[in-house]
A and B are shown apart, each in its own frame.
Chain A
Amino acid sequence: DAKTTQPNSMESNEEEPVHLPCNHSTISGTDYIHWYRQLPSQGPEYVIHGLTSNVNNRMASLAIAEDRKSSTLILHRATLRDAAVYYCILRVQYSGAGSYQLTFGKGTKLSVIP
């Protein structure tokens, strides 16, 4: 199974940019890179996803390395509401079932300092 590696925790000051790294050296050509975050007492929330090109949306930016073995989630201005566990996930095809599943890794706990 393609797996991801993230730092256990990171800290950021409020209103500063945050770069959350993720390594996925065993990624396959058809694996999409997804990011989700989970705030305390809530279910995971979709943040962004991409395949090869960098992606931007209203929540964040995703920078994908040229060899696709790593990616970085960028929060442009961290707020206290961004304090959460951030999961970098490869959405891979489940063998034989024609379904794609998300398998969560351990994630990075982001703390935002006022």
Chain B
Amino acid sequence: DTEVTQTPKHLVMGMTNKKSLKCEQHMGHRAMYWYKQKAKKPPELMFVYSYEKLSINESVPSRFSPECPNSSLLNLHLHALQPEDSALYLCASSQGAGDYNSPLHFGNGTRLTVT
């Protein structure tokens, strides 16, 4: 079990659907992250939130829309995705985005399939 909880574990959606991925942590961390991982590849950073504000967007297409309603929750809203967006989406948190000495804690991810 991890201290970062992601729901759902699996998601299948059509290209015209709208869905959301959710991430929750109760460790008091103030930085939260979204990573995308394709099969047999390393995770790639998508977004970083620091104190509930978006601090890094790694040129992610607008069909992915992150939201951080509070310091414990992180959402990723999905709309009009393409089949190539199928991947494992990982959420992570750390004490602070500016604290290079604090490790990241990852959830086990949501496996997304776009049909």
Closest 8 pairs (CB-CB, A-B):
A43-B106, A104-B42, A46-B103, A99-B97, A100-B100, A43-B108, A44-B106, A99-B55
The tally of residues in B whose CB lies under 8 Å from a CB in A reads 26
CB distance from A13 to the nearest CB of B (A): 25
Known: A97-B56, A99-B48. 11 other contacts (CB 8 A): A32-B101, A43-B92, A43-B106, A44-B92, A91-B100, A94-B56, A97-B55, A98-B97, A100-B100, A102-B104, A107-B42
A-B contact pairs, 15 of them (CB 8 A): A30-B100, A43-B2, A43-B107, A43-B109, A44-B104, A46-B105, A94-B55, A97-B56, A98-B50, A98-B55, A99-B97, A99-B98, A100-B98, A101-B48, A107-B42
Q: Which of A82-96 contact B (CB under 8 A)?
A: 87, 91, 93-94
A68 touches B (CB below 8 Å)? no
Residue numbers of B with Cβ under 8 A of A are: 2, 4, 31, 33, 42-45, 48, 50, 55-56, 90, 92, 97-101, 103-109
Asked whether A104 and B56 contact (CB < 8 A) given A91-B100, A93-B100, A99-B50, the answer is no
Q: Which of A36, A42, A97, A100 contacts B99 (CB 8 A)?
A: A100
A36 to B55, CA, bound (A): 23
Q: Which residues of B contact A41 (CB under 8 A)?
A: 108
A34: B residues at CB distance < 8 A: 103
Question: Is the Cβ of A101 less than 8 Å from the Cβ of B103?
Answer: no
- Closest B residue by C-beta to A97: B55
Query: Chain A residue with minimal CB distance to B101?
Result: A32
Residue in A45, A98, A99 with the greatest tally of chain B CB atoms within 10 Å: A99
Report how far A87 CA is from B106 CA in the complex, Å.
14
User: What is the bound-complex CA distance between A44 and B104, given in angstroms?
Assistant: 9
Complex formed: what's the CA distance from A36 to B104 in Å? Answer: 9
